[in-house]
Amino acid sequence: MSRYHPSLLTALLAPLLACAAGTTQAREVAAPADHVQADGPYVFRKGEQLQAKWICADKVESRTLPISKAGTDIAARCGYEHTVHVDAPNAASVSILPAVPRIVALSDIHGQYGLLVRLLRANRVIDAQDRWALGKDTLVIAGDVFDRGPQVTEAFWLLYGLQQQAAAAGGAVHFVLGNHETMVLYDDLRYVNPKYLRSAQLLGRSYPQLYGADSVIGQWLRTRPVLLKIGDTLFLHGGISPEAVQLALDPARTNAAYQASLGLPQAGVKADPA
């Protein structure tokens, strides 16, 4: 990994977990876990305040903080081990970007936070303290952080923070939505880890509501693209069918329509040919 060809996609690290095969089989929503040892934070915007909630040893802990123009730091309690820095709500993502010298791409983490950290450290994307170390280069996450594994919350907060740190260093982190992001947001919970169904019970919200438009990560997800073009490379979670090629030729329009559909009932989305 010491030499890189300009404009080359230099690292495609895809721990695929039989996503396509799994979604073709009937599957029921799991029963909630009996106990959650550590999860959070879930952070919600309430007017001029942030409300952060954790589940520590199966009990809810909460903290309310004022929103600062410079961003708000939320210290760790349990779950995600690092301080979270919450910025102002994100603007809609850009769909087409100029070429960059070096891109590292990663997909299908599915709640395996430990694997995510190992891969990013091994390829010098982050340092031993899990801080951005890729300088002015670019990281693309091509979807599917949700579902299956037990550390979805931690993975999202790491990527959310790395996006801020990369921008400050002159680099970039881009998150492209996968089908499992869409599934959770429109309440298809067949692949949600039982831990998170228990978390939702304890927090008094459905699991999709934990990522509602009033939540920090939920708002961030609703402004991420489904198609991202960097130079001559097009990033997306799955592929383009011949019937849908036109969608790939206009990423901005496609992204706007896709983002508008997030959180709508699944039946309504499927009934709309567009």
Which pLDDT tens digits describe the chain residue by residue (274 residues)?
333 333 333 333 333 333 433 444 578 999 999 999 999 999 999 999 999 999 999 999 999 999 999 999 999 999 999 999 999 999 989 999 999 999 999 999 999 999 999 999 999 999 999 999 999 999 999 999 999 999 999 999 999 999 999 999 999 999 999 999 999 998 999 999 999 999 999 999 999 999 999 999 999 999 999 999 999 999 999 888 898 898 889 999 999 998 988 888 878 888 887 6
Q: Which of 50, 74, 78, 29 is nearest to 201 (CA)?
A: 29
Tokens of 7: 């404009």
The amino acid that residue 118 corresponds to is R
Terminal Cα-to-Cα distance of the chain (whole angstroms): 42
Token reading at 20: 């396509």
Which pLDDT score is estimated for 15? 34
Q: Find out whether 105 and 182 touch, Cβ atoms under 8 Å.
A: no
pLDDT at 273: 75
pLDDT computed for residue 12 by the predictor: 35
Q: What is the CA radius of gyration of the chain?
A: 18
